[in-house]
Amino acid sequence: MTRRMRTSFDTQIETFDVLFPTPKTRLLEMTSPQKFTAKLEEPALKEDATSGQKSEQLPVYNAYSVNGDVIGQLVYANYGAQQDYEELTRRGVDVRGKIVIVRYGNTFRGIKPKIAAEHGAIGCIIYSDPRDDGYFAGDVYPKGAWRNEDGAQRGSVADLPLYSGDPLT
C-alpha cells in the first residue's frame, strides 16, 4: 500500500454561482449585396452520437460579447492584432464605423474586440480559418483532429488582464 493510499483526506464538494451570460437569441446576417443568415449551430454527425445532444452543448457564441445590433460595412483585419490595424492604416483603410472580421489565432480572442473598438470599429466578428485549424492543417473531425467545415469555437471575449475569471468567484 502506498503512502498516498494510507493518507486520508477530508473532502467536500463546494458549489458556486457563476455569472455566465448566455444570449436568448443570436443572429448574424449579411444584408447586401445578397442576404445571408449564418446557421450559428453545428449539425449532428452520424459518426458522433454525442454531437446531436443540443441540450448539453453551449450555443455558438463568445461569452461576455457586447449585446446589440450593428449594421455596417465589413473590413477584413487578419488576426485583429495591433500590427494588423497598423497595416490597414498604412494602406489607407479606416475601420471607424465599420465591422471588422478577424481570424481566431495568434492572439487571445478576448483582445480582438477590444483592439477593434480602440480603432473605432462598431463590431467584431471572429471566425475560424481552415488554413489555421481546418482541412489545410490535416484530416478534419470525425476522421481527424482538425475542425470540420461546420465546427465553431466557443469561449470568452472578456478582457483577461482586467477580468481574470468569473466575476462572482
32 found inside a domain: no
Write out the residue range of the structural domain in which residue 135 sits. 72-151
CATH number of residue 114's parent domain = 3.50.30.30
The whole-angstrom distance between residue 71's C-alpha and the CA centroid of its chain comes to 20
Q: Are 64 and 158 in contact (CB under 8 A)?
A: yes
Any domain includes 23: no
Residue 127 lies in a domain: yes
Domain-embedded: residue 158: no
Output the pTM of the full model: 0.84
What angle (nearest 5°) sits at the alpha carbon of residue 142, between those of residues 137 and 146? Answer: 20
The verdict on residue 67 lying in a domain is no
Helix (H) or strand (E) holding 62: strand 62-63
Residue 9 C-alpha cell reads as: 483526506
Is the model's pLDDT at 3 over the cut of 60? no
Structural domain count of the chain: 1
pLDDT tens sequence across 35-87: 999 999 999 999 999 988 888 888 999 998 988 899 999 999 999 999 999 99
For residue 64, being part of any structural domain is answered with no
Q: What is the pLDDT of residue 162?
A: 75
